[in-house]
Amino acid sequence: MKHSQKPVIAIDGTFASGKGTLAKKLATHFGYAYLDTGKLYRAVAARALAAKTDLTNGPQLAKLAMLIEPEELEHPKLKSGRVGAAASKVAVHTQVRVALKAYQVEFARNPPKKIAGAVLDGRDIGTVICPNADVKLYIDAKPEVRAQRRHKELLSYGEDISLAQVLADLVERDLRDQSREQAPLKPAANAHLLDTTNLSIDAAFLQAKTLILAVLKLS
């Protein structure tokens, strides 16, 4: 990254494409700090749902975003389908994205505990948050495969939902993420594309690791 001596790996991609799992494995492998930026929006959504805040009220949601504490990002409730769906609606608001941007940029510039580098995953990391990241990856997979992965995950949380509903929600979320005016989901111009439709997490990790080693010139 031009403004930092510490390497930054930016990972963007569609919902349930496996980018989060991949990002965590890469962070562990390289010994870098990891931030799932989607959890920031989920935390705002969780606060909004609890307070019964209108999800179309950008200014009020931005106020909630300013209150987010790091420990909130580990709360199990953020994994629920209801919070996830609300987070996608929260994320369309410019005021919310502006309120959360500083947190993400600072994490990349100065990883906690003086760790040697940072891995951030989300939907606008390579395009908006860290445009000068050393490595940019864009992870995707076919909607039907992503829906199956998400359905399995939700069932493991004890949620009662059909695969058809999960697929419908996923397609709706893709459209909203890709068409929003502020920081729409799209690959950065210099991002490396990785399709995980037919890849196991280990195979995806191997491809991503090999690429990163080459770009960062590490052994």
Which residues have CB under 8 Å from 147's CB, separation 6+? 16, 163, 166, 167, 170
Express each pLDDT in 164-215 by its tens digit: 999 999 999 999 999 988 889 999 999 999 999 999 999 999 999 999 999 9
Structural domain spans, the chain? 8-212
C-alpha dihedral over 26, 28, 32, 34, to 10 degrees? Answer: 80
Express each pLDDT in 64-81 by its tens digit: 999 999 999 999 999 898
Query: What pTM was estimated for this model as a whole?
Result: 0.89
Q: CB burial class (10 A; 0-12, 13-18, 19+) of residue 190?
A: exposed
Express each pLDDT in 9-30 by its tens digit: 999 999 999 999 999 999 999 9
- Give the residues across from 120 on adjacent strands: 10, 35
8-212: CATH topology is: Rossmann fold (3.40.50)
